Amino acid sequence: CGKEVVIKKTKKGRIYYGCEANPECDFMSWQKPSTKACPKCGAYMVEKGSKLLCSNEQCGYSTDK
């Protein structure tokens, strides 16, 4: 939606990333989202260890940070 992504915690204390415009925007990710888009399908990328992975599991694109 264009708003900032902020770090949030569940009731049990697990960290996740969500939109600051919640509940109007329902964006949520367990992995830290990157500002880069996937060059293969256009979805957002997430950081996992030293890699950037496409958030679209069917795409499967990955690259080093």
Domain residue spans of the chain: 1-30, 32-65
Q: What is the pLDDT of residue 13?
A: 93
Q: What is the pLDDT of residue 23?
A: 85
Its pTM stands at 0.73
pLDDT digits (tens, 9 = 90+) for 1-13: 778 899 999 999 9
Q: What is the pLDDT of residue 1?
A: 78
* Cα end-to-end span (Å), the chain: 25
State which residues of the chain have pLDDT below 70. none
The pair of structure tokens assigned to 15 is: 């960290």
